[in-house]
Amino acid sequence: MEGKKIRRIALLTSGGDAPGMNAAIRSVVRTAIYNDIQVLGIRRGYNGLIKNDFFPMDSRSVNKITAQGGTMLYTARCAEFQTPEGLQRAADNCKYLGIEGLVCIGGDGTFRGAQALSEYGVQVVGIPATIDNDIACTHYSIGFDTAANTAIDAIDKLSDTMQSHERISVVEVMGRHAGHLALYVGLSVGAAVTLIPEEPYDMQRDIIDVIREGRIHGRNHSIVIVAEGVGNTNEIVKTIEAETGVETRLTVIGHIQRGGSPSARDRVMGTRMGHYAVEALMQGQNNVIVCYRDSQLCTVDCTEALSMKKKLDGYMYRVGKEVAI
């Protein structure tokens, strides 16, 4: 299984944080140490790589982090890394520190950075982590399950009180460019309507008529889920209230969705993907992303992965509509 013997690797988390990143960090560190590979933790994503902000990690430095949300390595965005000078500095630092492989945990932007760095001679492997689950090459990204459960928990609580007052709840969930999270949450809470950036909607037909029809059939509380990327949520709320005559309240769940103790799924996926990433480096794989496809882990070439576009689950969208009557 092994390619050349690697003696030292580094790892970083970059872009938006996601619950389960810590499980991946722990797994990378422990798998590396198990295989006699030293590990350097890089703080604050690519910023740390440029600024040489690192520390040696051992088995004990990742004790008990699996249960914690966020990332113990911190995360940041780094504009300088997108310049040839920044990339060169990062590559020079890797060489100076004897880093023979780099694990980058994050989303599409993080992988674009990893790909760029590999062109400067650094061996890289990516691990997908984003609550949006919008990375095309993989069916699952670390953080999605916890974020969905956090949103569901909040909406269930909200529903209890909204139902007592027979109000309409409009709930904005995260998802600037993708509706996977909103769709999943909408199905889970029995939303009357779910609006996502990928699907245009007609205010009267897709929202007002559906809510009215529901009330006629005895639904005294309707939930409307809106993905952040749909925009103008305030307008949607005002129009619903004006057209239905029912008190309508907006709740923006916001960054709460990013936090919290990771679910079992995110802990296990983080651990499995971290292990797989180190083995991929040991095999000499470069410029690849660890992916979960058809219930199995695999690696996908980064360039190919970044050219893919993730399609919305059209069937799930249809199910949501058909069971909302």
Our finding on whether 51 is near ligand ATP (CB under 6 A) is: no
Under a CB-based contact definition with an 8 Å cutoff, are residues 106 and 75 in contact?
A: yes
CB of residue 45 to ligand ATP, shortest distance in Å: 6
Our finding on whether 106 is near ligand ATP (CB under 6 A) is: yes
Measured in degrees and rounded to the nearest 5, phi and psi for residue 59 equal: -55, -40
Nearer to ligand ATP (CB atom), residue 16 or residue 70:
16
- Give whole-number Cα distances, 216 to 169, 199, 239, in Å: 17, 26, 19
Under a CB-based contact definition with an 8 Å cutoff, are residues 259 and 19 in contact?
A: yes
Our finding on whether 287 is near ligand ATP (CB under 6 A) is: no
Pick from 101, 99, 40, 110: nearest CA to 75: 110
Give me the residue whose beta carbon is nearest to ligand ATP.
109
Report the residue from 35, 61, 82, 244 that binds ligand ATP according to the rule CB under 6 A: 82
Catalytic residues: 132
Judged by CB under 6 A, the number of residues near ligand ATP is: 17
129 secondary structure, DSSP code: B
Span between the terminal Cα atoms of the chain, in Å: 54
Report the residue from 78, 103, 210, 225 that binds ligand ATP according to the rule CB under 6 A: 78
Options 32-40, 77-85, 271-279, 289-297: segment touching ligand ATP (CB under 6 A): 77-85
Q: In angstroms, rounded to a whole number, what is the distance separating the alpha carbons of residues 66 and 42?
A: 18
Pairing type for strands 101-106 and 124-128 reads parallel
Question: Which residues are CB-neighbours of 33 under 8 A, at least 6 positions away?
Answer: 39, 58, 59
Could you say which residues in the range 10-39 bind ligand ATP, by CB under 6 A? 14-16
Our finding on whether 77 is near ligand ATP (CB under 6 A) is: yes
Report the residue from 25, 91, 116, 230 that binds ligand ATP according to the rule CB under 6 A: 116
Our finding on whether 179 is near ligand ATP (CB under 6 A) is: no
Pairing type for strands 38-42 and 54-57 reads antiparallel
Report the residue from 20, 71, 91, 108 that binds ligand ATP according to the rule CB under 6 A: 108
| Residue type at position 149 | N
CB of residue 10 to ligand ATP, shortest distance in Å: 16
- Binding interface with ligand ATP (CB under 6 A): 14-16, 46, 77-78, 81-82, 106-110, 112-113, 116, 130
